[in-house]
Structure 1
Amino acid sequence: MSDPELATKAPESDAMETGAGVGEHCVTDRPNPDDRQPSGEMTKFGDIDVYVSKPGDYPNSPAKLLLLLTPGTGVHSTNNQIQADIFASEGFVVIMPDQFRGDAAPNSKAIPAEEHPSILEQVKLRAAETAKSFLVDMWLARQTPEKVIPILLKVIEAVKDEYADAIAHGEGIYSVGYCFGGKYVIMLAGEHPDTVVAGQPQGDEEVGMVKKGPLIKAGAVAHATLVTREDFKAVQAPLALACVENDPLFPEEILQEGRKQFAASNIKHDIQVYSGVPHGFAVYGDYDSPAIKEAQAAAFQQILTWLKSH
């Protein structure tokens, strides 16, 4: 990001205490290691695009309901759809909504450079990357909780009717979020005033307001971004966190706030920190490094174990 401070000012009131925007892996898909193709289907819940993936034997065999929230690459990303399919193969009816309403992040992947680019080519590349960073910053400024939360609420209301059996089987809704989506899993796991849950700005009128409890039974988050101290202070539902060591998008002070809140509230949690991996490592996609591949598999197993044990 060319200006990480700019990237967080619009979405968060206490942005200076959050990670700096989003990283490359939040807005760009990694290579598809097996050239695998999605097996679920795109549908609509009202006017919201949703990718749905189900276990092969559903509904003959019961399954739990999983709300999967994506990185900036969004619902139409092949990698995200395959990620949903993988969870479906583990016994979940997976609902992955378009939380951006067709406004997924601009592709910020660097243009491949020549081995020895000329001075002119270097200038062009720098200009292109600056323009992309600006577009991502502008995109991020549009993706506020006031915009995203109402979309998630509509989807949750829709699944309560359409997949009541899966929700009943799991005794609630489970949720997993990667990168950008991670913040919203944490929010859904929290207790908030009606104004926040409804996606409306807060004000002095919230004093004395009855708060709503968590909208999910349990959640898991991989390398979240834009998480605030207030997000963690509101958490009431069990959470698992797969974090990246020295992650500027999820600073240590924010993680420590989470640890403190979990301990003070006696909330069930599982925090694992993975070293030597980039932000975004847990999202489906190929890496050359065996160590990153191993960590990716470990993070998925951490999340899956957490979901199945709650």
Structure 2
Amino acid sequence: MTSLPPGECCIRGIKHEGTPTGSIEKIENITTYFARPARPNGNAIFIFGDVFGPIYQNVQLIADNFAAQGYLTVVPDLLNGDAMGVEAFLGGKVDLPAWLARHDPTTIDPIAETVIDYLKNTLKVKSIAGVGYCFGAKYVVRHLKENRLDVAYIAHPSFVTSEELSAITKPLSIAAAEDDAIFTQENRFESEKILAGLILPYQINLYGGVGHGFALRGDLSIKEVKFATDRAFEQAVTWFDYWV
């Protein structure tokens, strides 16, 4: 396995300041946050969010930032209204194995495929870039292949298997944290070995002084975290601008 299963660090984090400017809409019956660019470049970004789902301010603000770069950005509810709450988890009210069993490839893959089909065939976007944070990274990797996603970026991934990573056929960029019990140094090295063997464009950037979740839920009042968060976002945009 190239990244370990989600743990407590996956639900810790800081709520970022700002006011989302997008809208909540439906793709068929899937609740989705839409961030529309003022100057669209014809491409879309599909954000596979973490365990908090799309109705979470941090991911909505990131979607708005991607839209400001010209990308139509969508954050669908891959969890079908069953997002995890921090207080419930820390209070021992969440059965993590049962929650994960409700949200596995048999439930999430069909939702992802519906969204991809909508972007390609209804909105007629030129290319679709996938973005995955923590839990969502697994599903970006699973769909990074022909006739699905065209390029991808993931940050501090969890639950990605070596078989899933070995099956990708499109360019992948990874933002990794130095202090990460889920995407460990050993996992990074394993991922690098797999990606090098695929002979595909890939990138793994390591950010020092930060931990798991920094790119989405980091404490931006800490200089090292703010730097890493900003640079990781720029990493994604630069990757997409070049490879879409």
Q: 1:11: which partner in 2?
A: none
Q: 1:103: which partner in 2?
A: 82
1:282-293, aligned counterparts within 5 Å? 282-283=215-216, 286-293=219-226
The one-letter code of the counterpart of 1:185 is V
Task: Mark the CA change 1:106 to 1:31 in structure 2 (over 3 Å): closer, same or farther.
Answer: closer
Whole-Å separation in 2 of the counterparts to 1:162 and 1:214: 15
Q: 1:115: which partner in 2?
A: none
**Any gaps of 5 or more consecutive residues in structure 2?**
none
Matched, 1:20 2:5: yes
Q: Secondary structure at the match of 1:245?
A: strand
The one-letter code of the counterpart of 2:77 is D
The one-letter code of the counterpart of 1:89 is A
Q: 2:92: which partner in 1?
A: 131
Task: Mark the CA change 1:20 to 1:107 in structure 2 (over 3 Å): closer, same or farther.
Answer: same
* TM superposition score normalised by structure 2: 0.91
- Residue pair 2:58, 2:217 contacting (<8 A) in 1 also: yes
Of the three residues 135, 145, 157, the one matched with 2:117 is 157
Matched, 1:177 2:132: yes
Superposition misfits of 4+ residues, deviation over 6 angstroms: none
Whole-Å separation in 2 of the counterparts to 1:262 and 1:285: 27
Task: Mark the CA change 1:99 to 1:71 in structure 2 (over 3 Å): closer, same or farther.
Answer: same
The one-letter code of the counterpart of 2:14 is R
- Residue pair 2:218, 2:226 contacting (<8 A) in 1 also: no
Indicate the structure with greater strand content.
2
Q: Deviations over 1:14-55 (max 9, x none)?
A: 7xx74132344x33552323xx11111111111111111111
Q: Secondary structure at the match of 1:250?
A: coil
User: How many matched pairs?
Assistant: 243
Whole-Å separation in 1 of the counterparts to 2:207 and 2:87: 25
Q: Secondary structure at the match of 1:100?
A: coil
Whole-Å separation in 2 of the counterparts to 1:104 and 1:27: 11
Q: Secondary structure at the match of 2:84?
A: coil
- Deviation at 1:248? 1.6
Of the three residues 145, 155, 166, the one matched with 1:233 is 166
Q: Which has the larger radius of gyration?
A: 1
Whole-Å separation in 1 of the counterparts to 2:184 and 2:87: 22
Whole-Å separation in 2 of the counterparts to 1:129 and 1:66: 32
Q: CA RMSD in A?
A: 2.1
Q: Deviations over 1:275-295 (max 9, x none)?
A: 211211001664331111111
Task: Mark the CA change 1:306 to 1:49 in structure 2 (over 3 Å): closer, same or farther.
Answer: same
- Residue pair 1:28, 1:108 contacting (<8 A) in 2 also: no
Q: Secondary structure at the match of 2:106?
A: helix
- Residue pair 2:42, 2:71 contacting (<8 A) in 1 also: yes
Task: Mark the CA change 1:281 to 1:184 in structure 2 (over 3 Å): closer, same or farther.
Answer: same
1:36-75, aligned counterparts within 5 Å? 36-58=18-40, 62-75=41-54
- Residue pair 1:177, 1:224 contacting (<8 A) in 2 also: yes
- Residue pair 1:217, 1:238 contacting (<8 A) in 2 also: yes
Q: 1:90: which partner in 2?
A: 69
- Residue pair 2:33, 2:76 contacting (<8 A) in 1 also: yes
**Any gaps of 5 or more consecutive residues in structure 1?**
1-13, 110-127, 191-212
Whole-Å separation in 2 of the counterparts to 1:107 and 1:129: 6
Task: Mark the CA change 1:143 to 1:231 in structure 2 (over 3 Å): closer, same or farther.
Answer: same
Whole-Å separation in 1 of the counterparts to 2:85 and 2:73: 25
Whole-Å separation in 2 of the counterparts to 1:30 and 1:266: 38
Whole-Å separation in 1 of the counterparts to 2:217 and 2:86: 17
Q: Deviations over 1:123-157 (max 9, x none)?
A: xxxxx84614x434432232111111011001111
- Deviation at 1:79? 1.4
Identity %: 30
* TM superposition score normalised by structure 1: 0.73
Q: Deviations over 1:80-111 (max 9, x none)?
A: 111100100011000111000101113248xx
